[in-house]
Amino acid sequence: MDQAAFKVVVVGGGPAGLVAAHALTKAGIDFVVLEGRSSVAPELGAGVGFWPMSLRILDQLDILEQIRPLLNAFPSKNIILADGGVLQNFPLKMDEYLGEHFYMCHRADLLQTLYDTLPDAAKARVLTGKRVQAIEVSDSGVRVGCEDGSWETGSIVFGADGVHSKVRRLAREAALEENPEAKTDPVQPFLTSFEGLFGNSPLDALPSFSPGELNEVHSFGTDIQVFAGRERVWWIVYHKLDEPTREPLKYSDKDRDAFADKVGHLHISDKLTFRDIYAVRNSGCAVALEEGSLKHWGWKRIVMLGDSSNKMTANLGMGMNCAIQDVVILVNHLRSLLSKMGAPGSGPSAAAAETIDTPTLERLFDAYWAEHNKFSPKFTYLSARDVRICSWSTYVRYFLDRWLYPPIGMRRFIFRFIVARFMSRGRVFDFLEIKNNFSGTVPWTYSPKNVASSGKGAKL
């Protein structure tokens, strides 16, 4: 590679991939993002959730104020029964605990803004229509081949290409080709116990909803979440399968409509059923809701992050937030290593790729994975528990959710002493300052001053 600068090939241009582009730009590390779709902001109809820990990261990247107009705050939640009756209303109080509310925004709008706020030179490194089909790994770097015949060279690969990751599959195949006894995750590493229906409808077609209203329907076998924003109402249906499966599930438009009809009678408010909101939808899609965590981070110079490594149901809105945490951990470690390997005072971008061997990178990825496993899998577990409670998957869970939790204030306890405390352990970039005040009754574990010293367990 003739003393080329160290370069990251990011596969996947979703929220994690574009946040990685911002972070690598700030860190002074060369990169390219390969997105398989033809657009940086495809309209998939979905909303995404932002928790306070991720707003701290946007603040560090100097893009929080540009993204804030997209955000819709949800300070409280109404728990609705299938007949429209209100079981409980409880305030989330995240602004009290961690200094910011829980927010939702439209995924396509977020992606467009993440792209638009990149410097021009960084935008030129975000390539669309680049569907990856091959990865070659050598002692000094990687080559990533796309279906259009093009190849990108680099030093390492970030596999940020989602739950059905091509990068994960290619890394597994390469590991087993080199050593048939290699320890790898299964071809289908995640288990599907729930199917989901995602979409949005125009707020002006649903006058009984007000911006900031969050309704969650609890019933036997089905949980529905409805988030009313300023312009759209996002909705998610979680329906328990008869039997879990590891096989990929695909849904046609006919399957989607049949799914909607199956749950259409359930009330999402005292006046409306799900059938009402589905009838006026802007868009919608049915998907499998895989769950699980990889045991292995990848192979050699290929490392997995986000949904490709850790997949959870969407009911706590933590998937993207955990993916952003992966970006933070990886970029912190990578910048620290490259700063040490470069010429004194020259910064990470001056580190020659050939000076960093594969064993050194494997130790870096081991350190990343140790930190990842202290955070993301916990939310996979919490999400799994929550969706099963809300969908009354057993009679015991029905009793807890319907009769025990409301009078003793169990949900407030869970958010205050479990969810908020886990979120307070979210890491931040150790080389960028936090400019806004994110403070509440639950203290943050990490700040830019102490995050570096807290992760010194790995010797690279």
Distance of alpha carbon 273 from the chain centroid = 29
- Only one residue has tokens 């890394």, namely 171
Q: What is the pLDDT of residue 351?
A: 61
- Domain assignments of the chain as residue spans, ordered by start: 7-188+293-454
Q: Is the pLDDT of residue 368 over 60?
A: yes
d(CA 430, CA 450): 8
**Strand (E) or helix (H) holding 25:** helix 15-27
pLDDT digits (tens, 9 = 90+) for 389-428: 999 999 999 999 999 999 999 999 999 999 999 999 999 9
Looking at the chain, the number of H-run helices and the number of E-run strands are: 17, 20
Q: What is the pLDDT of residue 104?
A: 98
Q: Which of 409, 410, 438 is nearest to 424 (CA)?
A: 438
Q: What is the pLDDT of residue 350?
A: 59
Q: What is the pLDDT of residue 182?
A: 96
What number is the average pLDDT over the span 73-97? 97
Q: What percentage of the chain exceeds 70 in pLDDT?
A: 95
pLDDT digits (tens, 9 = 90+) for 334-362: 999 999 887 444 566 556 677 899 999 99
Tokens of 90: 């409880």
Tokens of 427: 């890491």
Q: What is the pLDDT of residue 459?
A: 40
Task: Compute the C-alpha angle 247/249/252, nearest 5°.
Answer: 160
Confidence of residue 455 (pLDDT cuts 50, 70, 90): very low
What number is the average pLDDT over the span 258-265? 98
Q: Is the pLDDT of residue 332 over 50?
A: yes
β-bridge mates for residue 104, sequence order:
49, 72
pLDDT digits (tens, 9 = 90+) for 264-285: 999 999 999 999 999 999 999 9
Which phi and psi angles does 143 have, rounded to 5°?
-125, 130
In the sheet with 76-81, reading across from the earlier edge strand, the strands are 86-91, 76-81, 214-219, 222-228, 232-245, 191-202, 283-293, 310-311
Task: Compute the C-alpha angle 104/106/107, nearest 5°.
Answer: 110
For residues 435 and 59, the answer to whether their CB atoms sit within 8 Å is yes
Are β-strands 47-50 and 102-106 bridged in parallel, bridged antiparallel, or unpaired?
antiparallel
For residues 32 and 10, the answer to whether their CB atoms sit within 8 Å is yes
Q: Residue 54 is which amino acid?
A: S
- Only one residue has tokens 């709008």, namely 109
What number is the average pLDDT over the span 74-80? 98
Q: What is the pLDDT of residue 453?
A: 43
d(CA 23, CA 427): 14
Burial-class residue 396 by CB neighbours within 10 Å (0-12, 13-18, 19+): exposed
pLDDT digits (tens, 9 = 90+) for 101-121: 999 999 999 999 999 999 999
**Pick from 1-5, 12-16, 79-83, 266-270: least confident:** 1-5
What number is the average pLDDT over the span 168-175? 98
CATH class belonging to 7-188+293-454: alpha beta
pLDDT digits (tens, 9 = 90+) for 301-312: 999 999 999 999
pLDDT digits (tens, 9 = 90+) for 37-63: 999 999 887 899 999 999 999 999 999
Confidence of residue 225 (pLDDT cuts 50, 70, 90): very high
Q: What is the pLDDT of residue 250?
A: 95
Are β-strands 222-228 and 310-311 bridged in parallel, bridged antiparallel, or unpaired?
unpaired
For residues 227 and 47, the answer to whether their CB atoms sit within 8 Å is yes
Q: Is the dihedral of CA 199, 110, 95, 97 positive or negative?
A: positive
Q: Which of 429, 425, 431 is nearest to 51 (CA)?
A: 425
d(CA 149, CA 141): 19
Q: What is the pLDDT of residue 457?
A: 36
The neighbour count for residue 91, using CB atoms within 10 Å, is: 12
For residues 357 and 332, the answer to whether their CB atoms sit within 8 Å is no
> Could you write out the DSSP letters of every residue in 408-455?
HTHHHHHIIIIIHHHHTT----TTS---S----SS--S--TTTHHHHT
Residues 6+ apart with CB under 8 A from 322: 306, 310, 312, 375, 376, 379
Q: Is the pLDDT of residue 151 over 90?
A: yes
Any idea what DSSP says for residue 237?
A: E
